[in-house]
Amino acid sequence: MAAMDVIVEKLVTVWRRPAVRRIFPLLFLLISSVGSILKELELVPPSYFSSSKNFFNLYFVKVSWGWTLLLLTPFLLISSSVHRGASLLGQRLLSLAVATAVWYICTETFLYIEDATGTCFQSKTSLLATNEFASKATCRRAGFNWRGQDISGHSFILTYSSLLIMEEMSPMAILRTASLPALARTVLNLLYVALNLIVMTWVWMFVCTSVYFHHPIDKLLGTICGLLGWYLTYRYWYLKPFSPGLPPQRQLKEQKQHA
């Protein structure tokens, strides 16, 4: 597993750079803005990823929160056992519960806004509205087209999931030199690499969303909501005493900054 250790070491080195952690959140705003301009100017030709039925959209993005929890939960279970055991594990699982609540509240709010601001039309190109249907679900079931403020759930979840993973896998900077059983070390390394791969997938699919789908304002609002969900927790609330707190590596950095 020497090759895996080298890969983990390189990934840890990248994420430990302060510049990377500062720029990464802003990258989503940049991609969303540039991608929206390219889309409006029709400068990006159609491709496999311009179809909403592409493999990655159907089996990864559509269930992105499930993938995030599937990989992050076992990583936290193993990494927390190395530090303060049950106490740290409880804190980290609570942070996942908070993140899930943020995800649920935001996505449900987006759906509510789309219903509240929308109107049912006979087709995508039709200007003739029908008042027979009061929600997107009933409108589309009838074969019609619903037009409302469709805040991009993809832009939100891909931004938020990526930043959540960035924060929660930061203890690997400590764990890579910790004394661990061979099996635990192997599983942890595999999970860490998988988390990095899923972040790369989320960023790529965010690019595709930006250049192929949604109106610019809908993508920008979704991206901002994802950034706010991350910032208000990891950069504000988790620094307070009554909170899940930051992951171990982040705690050490914050203590040094405030010393």
d(CA 231, CA 227): 6
Cβ neighbours, 10 Å, residue 193: 14
Structure tokens at 83: 């530090």
Structure tokens at 225: 């909501």
Structure tokens at 86: 């049950």
| Whole-number Cα distances in Å, 110 to 59, 149, 158 | 22, 8, 15
Q: Looking at the annotation, which residues are catalytic?
A: 154, 214
DSSP 8-state class, residue 259: -
Question: Residues 188, 192, 195, CA angle at the centre, nearest 5°?
Answer: 140
| Whole-number Cα distances in Å, 15 to 18, 168, 180 | 8, 12, 22
Backbone angles phi and psi of 170, in degrees to 5: -65, -25
Of the candidates 126, 122, 106, the one whose C-alpha atom is nearest the C-alpha of residue 114 is 106
